[in-house]
Amino acid sequence: MIYFLQHYWWLVVTLLGSLLVFLMFVQGGQSLIFGIAKSETEKTLLINALGHKWELTFTTLVTFGGAMFASFPLYYSTSFGGAYWLWMAILFLFVIQAVSFEYRGKAGNLLGGKTYETFLFLNGSLGPILLGVAVGTFFTGGAFTMDKMSITSFDNQVISKWTNGWHGLDAITVPFNLLTGLVVYFAARTLGLLYVIKQIEMDSLVAKAKAQVKVTGTAFVLAFVLLLVHLFTMTGYSVSPENGFISPVRYKYFFNMIELIWPAVMLLAGVILVLYGLGSVMFSKGKYSFFVTGGGVVLAVWSILIGAAFNNTAFFVSTYNVQQSLTLYNSSSSEFTLKVMAYASLFIPFVLAYVIYVWRSLTRTKINEQDLNKADSHKY
C-alpha cells in the first residue's frame, strides 16, 4: 500500500510543480515591463492584466512546498533547510512582487512607481531562472549528508546537513540546473506574451507581443530540446527496492521514459501542443494559443518530473555520498500520513473547479485603456 501512496503523492506534488511552471506566465509578463511596454499606459495595462493572476503563482508555490513537506518531509528538510540561500532568494523575489503589486499604483508611495516596476521586472526575470535551478536539483542533487539515526541522539538531532558553505547557491553553477532555469524563463516569457495577446485590447501592445513571440518562442523550443538532450544522455541513479543500494546508470532518465512509456506519451503530447500553440499565434490569430501552449508546458514538465523519481530512481542525489541520496522510499512520510492526505486530496478537483470558475470570471472580457479610467476600477 505504501508503495502506491508514495508514487501517488509524487504524481500530485509534481503536478503542482508543473502547474507552477505554467502559472509563471505572470513572471514572464512582468519581464516585459521594460521591453514591449514603452508608454506609461502600456505598462499600466500590462501590470493590471497580470494583477488579476499574480496570487495564483504565489499560492501554488506555497502549496507545492506544503505538499512536499507533508508527503516527502526528508526532501523538504534537506533542500529547503540545507540549500536555504537559494530558496531564500526565491522567496525574497516573490515578496517584492507582492509588495510591488500592492503599492505601485498608490499615490504618494514611498519608493515611487519606477522602483516597484523594477522589483516586478526582477521577480519576472530572476524568479523563473532560480526556480528552474531548484527544479534542476531533482536530477543533479546537492552537497548534503544524511543520517536518520541522528534523530535518536541527544546532542545532535539533525538528520541531514549541507557539506559546504554555499547552501544552495552552488546549484546555480551546475550547467544542467542553469539550463533548466533558462528553459523555465523562456517558457514563462513566452506564455506571458501569449497572455498579453489573449487578454489585452491594445493594438500597439499586441502587435509587439506577436513579433516578440517569434523570438522568445523559438528560443524556448530550442532551449527545451537542448535540455532534453542533456537529460537523456546524463547519468542517473537507480535504487534497489530490495536493499536500497543506489548505483549509477547512464541514460537513466531516457530509460525511464521508454520503459514506463506513458511519461514519454505525455512528453510527446506536450511538445505537440506547444508547437501547435506557437504556430497558431505566429501564422494565424491564435485565439486559444495561450491555453494550448500552457497545457503543453504542463504535460511536458510533469512527464519530466515523473521520470525524476519513478522507475526506482533517486530523485535528489547526494554529491557527498551517493548512498545517502533521497528516493521515494526513504524520504516519504509514514503510510498513515500518506493515506490520510490521500483522502484529503479527493477535494482537489473541487478546488480546481473553483479556480477555473474564478479565472473565467476575471478574464471573460479583455482589459483596455477605458477599464483603467473607470471610477470603480482597482488599478495596480
Q: Which has the higher per-residue pLDDT, 235 or 52?
A: 235
**Does residue 136 carry a pLDDT above 90?**
yes
Q: State which of 52-66, 144-158, 204-218, 295-309 shows the largest mean pLDDT.
A: 295-309
What is the tens place of the pLDDT at every residue in 147-163?
665 555 556 656 778 88
State residue 297's pLDDT score: 97
- C-alpha 27/C-alpha 130 separation (Å) is 12
Q: Which has the higher per-residue pLDDT, 247 or 40?
A: 247
87 within 8 A of 80, measured Cβ to Cβ = yes
Contacts of 3 (CB under 8 A, 6+ apart): none
Name all contacts of 286-289 with Cβ < 8 Å and 24+ positions apart: 286/194, 286/197, 287/198, 289/194, 289/197, 289/198
Collapse the DSSP code of 158 into the 3-class scheme (helix H, G, I; strand E, B; otherwise coil) and give the result: coil
State residue 160's pLDDT score: 76
3-state secondary structure 299-367: HHHHHHHHHCCCCCECCECECCCHHHCECCCCCCCCHHHHHHHHHHHHHHHHHHHHHHHHHHHHCCCCE
Q: State which of 208-212, 231-235, 344-348 shows the largest mean pLDDT.
A: 231-235
- C-alpha 103/C-alpha 81 separation (Å) is 31
**Does residue 181 carry a pLDDT above 70?**
yes
pTM of the model: 0.93
**Does residue 361 carry a pLDDT above 80?**
no
State residue 149's pLDDT score: 59
**Does residue 225 carry a pLDDT above 60?**
yes
**Does residue 111 carry a pLDDT above 90?**
no
Residue type for position 324 = Q
State residue 24's pLDDT score: 94
9-13, 296-300, 338-342, 348-352: range with lowest mean pLDDT: 348-352
- C-alpha 375/C-alpha 370 separation (Å) is 10
What is the tens place of the pLDDT at every residue in 20-60?
999 999 999 999 998 888 888 888 888 888 887 888 888 88
- Torsion-angle region of 286 (φ positive above 0: left; ψ -120 to 50: alpha; else: beta): left
Q: Could you give the percent of the chain with pLDDT greater than 90?
A: 56
60-64, 72-76, 109-113, 205-209: range with lowest mean pLDDT: 109-113
